[in-house]
Amino acid sequence: MKEKLHQLKLKYQGKKMAPAFNALHTFLYTPNETTHSGSHVRAADDLKRTMNTVILALVPCLLFGMFNAGYQHYSAINGFPENFSLFDHFLTWDNFLVGITTVLPLVIVSYGVGLAIEFLFAVIKGHEVEEGYLVTGMLVPLIVPVDTPLWMLAIAVVFGVVIGKEVFGGTGMNILNPALTIRAFLFFAYPTWMSGDKVWVHEGVERAGTADAISGETVLGSLAQGSDYSYSLADMFYGFIPGSVGETSTLLIVLGGLFLIFSKIASWRIMVSAVIGALAMGLIFNGIVDAGWLPEYSKFYTLMSFPYWQHLLVGGLAFGIVFMATDPVTGSQTNKGKWYYGFFIGFLSVMIRVFNPGYPEGVFLAILLMNVFAPTIDHYVVRGNIKKRLKRFKTATIYPKASDAVDSLKTETA
C-alpha cells in the first residue's frame, strides 16, 4: 500500500489534481519529506496533529450533544423526569437515536461541503489542502440549533469558507473565525431558525401550531423575557438544558479546555482572561441592580440580576471562550495582547447578552468583534517592544568609521 501510494504520488506530481491526491495521501501517511534548509531535524508536531488535538477535545461535547438532543426532545414531550438518573434518562438508545438522526447529518454536511470547497480551492490555486477546516467543520454543528435545515447549513458553510477564509488566502490568513462567520451568517440570514423557544428542541418547529406542539426555551431566553426557568444549577453545569448542540455541557467544555491547555495547543491566557472579563461585566451588572439604580420593571432587570458567575454556565459563553476565542489565527498573536483580547471577549459577551434586544446571546458577536480588533491590540503591544528598543538606541555607542574620519579630515583641510 505504501509503495503503491508512493508510485501514485509520483504519477500525479505536477498535475492539476495533485493537491487533492496529496491531501488523502498525507491523511494516511505523514509524507516522506525531509529537511532541506535550516534545521536538519524537526519536532514531531504539525498542523494536522494540532487540529486533531482540538477535535479530540470537541468529541465529548459532540457525543453529549447527541444524547442531549434526544433528552430535550423526549423531555419536551413527556416532561422532565422526576428523579433524574444519568443512565435511565440520558444515556439511552432512544436519545442517541435522535442524536444520530439530527446531529450526525449536521456534521456530515458541515464536513462534506466545507472540505469540498477546500479541495476545490486547493486544486484551482495549486496549493496543498490545508487543515484549518478540520476544526471548523467540527465546531459548526456544535454551535447551531439541533434542527437547523441542512440546506441552510450548506449555504452558510459555503459563505463562511469562501468569504470568511478563502478570499483572504486560506488557513492562517483569515481575519474572522470561519466557524463564527458561518454562525453569524445563519443568524442574520435566517433569524427565525436561530432563536425563539421552538428551535432548540428536535421537532419543535415542525410541531408548532399543532396539538402536539413542544418547546424548550434556553435559560437566557427565559431570562430575557423576564420569566422563570426550571433548571437547577447542576443541570446548567452538566448541560441538561436546551441550547445549541454542543454548547450546553459546561463540565465537558471545561474538561476539553483543560486538555487543550495541558497539551499546549490553546492559549490559557485567552481562556483565563475571558473568564475574568465575563465575571467583571457580570459583577458590574449585579452591582447596578444591588445599588437599586435599575427599576424592577426594566426589561434588562432579570438578565442583569442574574448572578454574575452563572453567566459562565449558560448559553455559549464557555464554549466560545474555550474553542472559538482561542483560535490562534484570528485571535491576538502576542502573549500580552492575548490578555486584553480575552478580557474584552468575556466582557463584551456578557454585555451584548444583556442588552441585545433580539437575541439573548453575544458570544459569537463579541468574538467576531474582537477578531477585528486583534491586530490593533497586537500593534500596540509590538509598539511597546519597539519603543523599548528606541529608548535603548538613545544610549547607543557608535564609533565613527575610519573612512568617515578621513573624509571629515579632508573637508577640514580643504
Rank residues 301 and 373 by Cβ distance to other proteins and give the closer one.
373
Rank residues 78 and 391 by Cβ distance to other proteins and give the closer one.
391
320 φ/ψ angles, rounded to the nearest 5 degrees: -60, -45
- Among 259, 386, 285, which residue's Cα sits nearest to residue 334? 386
Rank residues 169 and 191 by Cβ distance to other proteins and give the closer one.
169
CA dist., res. 136 & res. 370, Å (int) = 18
- Least distance (Å) from other proteins to the CB of residue 157? 20
CA dist., res. 405 & res. 411, Å (int) = 10
Residue 184 has a CB neighbour count (10 Å cut-off) of: 21
Rank residues 208 and 382 by Cβ distance to other proteins and give the closer one.
382
Helix (H) or strand (E) holding 7: helix 2-12
Angle between helices 132-142 and 47-78 (to 10 degrees): 10
- Least distance (Å) from other proteins to the CB of residue 188? 28
- Least distance (Å) from other proteins to the CB of residue 1? 9
- Least distance (Å) from other proteins to the CB of residue 173? 6
* Secondary structure of residue 389 in the 3-state scheme: helix
- Among 229, 212, 211, which residue's Cα sits nearest to residue 220? 229
Nine-digit cell string for 350: 456578557
Query: Residues 136, 179: contact at Cβ < 8 Å?
Result: yes
Residue 281 has a CB neighbour count (10 Å cut-off) of: 23
Nine-digit cell string for 35: 529537511
- Among 199, 222, 105, 197, which residue's Cα sits nearest to residue 154? 105
- Least distance (Å) from other proteins to the CB of residue 384? 10
Rank residues 250 and 267 by Cβ distance to other proteins and give the closer one.
267
- Least distance (Å) from other proteins to the CB of residue 388? 7
- Least distance (Å) from other proteins to the CB of residue 311? 27
Q: What is the DSSP string of 240-287?
A: -S-SSTTTS-HHHHHHHHHHHHHTT-S-HHHHHHHHHHHHHHHHHHHH
State the alpha helices, DSSP H only, in 326-362: 335-355
Helix (H) or strand (E) holding 120: helix 93-125
Rank residues 30 and 376 by Cβ distance to other proteins and give the closer one.
30
Rank residues 28 and 211 by Cβ distance to other proteins and give the closer one.
28
- Least distance (Å) from other proteins to the CB of residue 50? 6
Rank residues 264 and 299 by Cβ distance to other proteins and give the closer one.
264
Q: What is the DSSP string of 204-246?
A: TTTTTTSTT------HHHHHHTT------HHHHHHT-S-SSTT
Rank residues 50 and 215 by Cβ distance to other proteins and give the closer one.
50
- Least distance (Å) from other proteins to the CB of residue 402? 5
- Size (the chain), residues: 414
Rank residues 31 and 191 by Cβ distance to other proteins and give the closer one.
31
Nine-digit cell string for 357: 434586544
Query: Residues 263, 51: contact at Cβ < 8 Å?
Result: no
